[in-house]
């Protein structure tokens, strides 16, 4: 018998004949859905449709694309709940489709652009990763993702918006109720545009912050802090976190450790340990890998880390061991409900 979310393999005879093949065919066609959604995101069609239903002819003209293929993309996406048909040969956008509109709360447009412009091709090399241990990204592009991004800064806005978009979506439940451990100065290491720090410091006016990221990313952080009205108490620093990090009372690593192998994480944690005084606090925000069969976003994210970065998602106890290697003792883990993100808090105990 099926119960709730568990996805037990159905005993034969329980599903109608062909249902398993149909479900598998649907999963296999994910590549077509991803590319159709990318078209909507790239042309910002969802934003255009938020203003009111439009015909494919109108949208095609405005977007400088051909009407017939655009109509077929929209018709296909009507079958997965992204747009709906309206009278007069028009399409409207649904709540689901509206998440692809740029500049709206909960938008995933930056994620769509980043994933399809930098991740999609690399995933064509997943089997190569299993055979060689190299990232799919390096197999496809001949260099790792971070050096590639530094040489192709046109993708940096996509990266920073994709990361910031997590705050409006999957990370929102954690950030809304979470308060950082005591400490006046909070350094967000690998903080991208500082959106996580901004969310955590907004209601905490006594604290000061530092956002550290690669020099190419810092202008986005400086701009974001001004927008958030935090320029007076948050500074931005460019540098390589494997070389050194600024001194602070609380260190924040949000979605950073999952980008790296255990060896690289220990190197980075070592740089923090060098800058930290005993008693300094570390907060690691990650989506923890569950051990069971439950559907969980960190399972797909683990493959993204494998293919794009050579990193990995980890279980709570793997993080405890990893942090312990560098002298950080885990105090507690705060988890958002329903498979969301967690904040692992640790204290630096000089060894």
Ligand X SMILES: C[S@@+](CC[C@H](N)C(=O)[O-])C[C@H]1O[C@@H](n2cnc3c(N)ncnc32)[C@H](O)[C@@H]1O
Q: Is 277 exposed, middle or buried (0-12, 13-18, 19+ CB in 10 A)?
A: exposed
- For ligand X, which residue of 118, 129, 236, 254 counts as binding (CB under 6 A)? 254
190 binds ligand X (CB under 6 A): yes
Q: Clarify whether 2 is annotated catalytic.
A: no
Check: CB of residue 39 under 8 Å from CB of residue 73: yes
214 binds ligand X (CB under 6 A): yes
Q: Based on CB atoms, which residue is closest to ligand X, 74 or 346?
A: 346
Q: Based on CB atoms, which residue is closest to ligand X, 54 or 141?
A: 141
Q: What is the 3-state secondary structure (H, E, C) of 19-49?
A: HHHHHHHHHHCHHHHHHHHHHHHHCCHHHHH
* Alpha carbons 76 and 83: distance in angstroms, whole number: 9
- For ligand X, which residue of 40, 250, 256, 322 counts as binding (CB under 6 A)? 256
307 binds ligand X (CB under 6 A): no
313 binds ligand X (CB under 6 A): no
Check: CB of residue 146 under 8 Å from CB of residue 310: no
Stretches 13-21, 93-101, 115-123, 254-262: which one binds ligand X (CB under 6 A)? 254-262
Q: Based on CB atoms, which residue is closest to ligand X, 43 or 175?
A: 175
Which 3 state secondary structure label does DSSP give 70?
helix
In sequence order, what DSSP letters do the residues of 116-140 get, joined into one string? IIIIHHHHTTHHHHHHH-S-HHHHH
- For ligand X, which residue of 125, 259, 302, 313 counts as binding (CB under 6 A)? 259
Q: Based on CB atoms, which residue is closest to ligand X, 144 or 318?
A: 144
196 binds ligand X (CB under 6 A): yes
CA distances from 151 to 104, 163, 216 (A): 29, 20, 10
> Using CB under 6 A as the criterion, which residues of the chain lie in contact with ligand X when the complex forms?
146, 163, 166, 190-192, 195-196, 213-214, 217, 240-242, 254-256, 259
The residues that are catalytic are 258
């Amino acid at each position: 018998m099926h119960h709730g979310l568990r996805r037990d393999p159905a005993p034969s005879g329980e599903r109608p004949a062909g249902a398993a093949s149909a479900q598998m065919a649907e999963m296999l066609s994910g590549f077509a859905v991803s590319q159709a959604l990318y078209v909507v995101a790239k042309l910002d069609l969802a934003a255009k449709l938020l203003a009111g239903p439009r015909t494919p002819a109108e949208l095609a003209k405005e977007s400088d694309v051909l009407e017939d293929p655009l109509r077929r993309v929209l018709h296909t996406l009507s079958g997965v709940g992204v747009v709906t048909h309206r009278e007069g040969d028009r399409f409207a956008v649904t709540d689901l489709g509206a998440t692809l509109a740029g500049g709206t709360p909960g938008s995933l447009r930056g994620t769509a652009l980043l994933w399809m412009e930098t991740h999609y091709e690399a995933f064509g090399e997943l089997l190569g990763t299993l055979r060689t241990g190299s990232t799919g990204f390096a197999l496809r592009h001949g260099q790792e993702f971070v050096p590639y991004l530094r040489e192709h800064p046109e993708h940096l806005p996509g990266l920073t918006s994709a990361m910031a978009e997590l705050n409006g979506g999957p990370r929102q439940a954690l950030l809304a109720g979470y308060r950082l451990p005591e400490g006046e100065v909070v350094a967000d290491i690998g903080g991208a545009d500082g959106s996580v720090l901004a969310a955590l410091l907004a209601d905490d006016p006594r604290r000061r912050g530092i956002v550290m990221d690669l020099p190419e990313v810092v202008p986005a952080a400086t701009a974001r802090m001004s927008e958030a009205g935090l320029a007076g108490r948050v500074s931005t620093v460019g540098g390589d976190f494997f070389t050194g990090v600024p001194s602070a009372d609380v260190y924040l690593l949000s979605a950073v450790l999952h980008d790296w192998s255990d060896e690289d994480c220990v190197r980075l944690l070592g740089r923090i340990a060098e800058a930290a005084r005993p008693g300094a606090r570390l907060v690691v925000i990650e989506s923890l890998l569950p051990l069971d069969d439950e559907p969980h976003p960190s399972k797909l994210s683990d493959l993204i880390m494998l293919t794009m970065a050579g990193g990995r998602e980890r279980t709570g106890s793997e993080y405890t061991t990893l942090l312990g290697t560098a002298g950080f003792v885990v105090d507690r883990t705060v988890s958002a409900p329903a498979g969301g993100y967690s904040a692992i808090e640790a204290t630096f105990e000089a060894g």
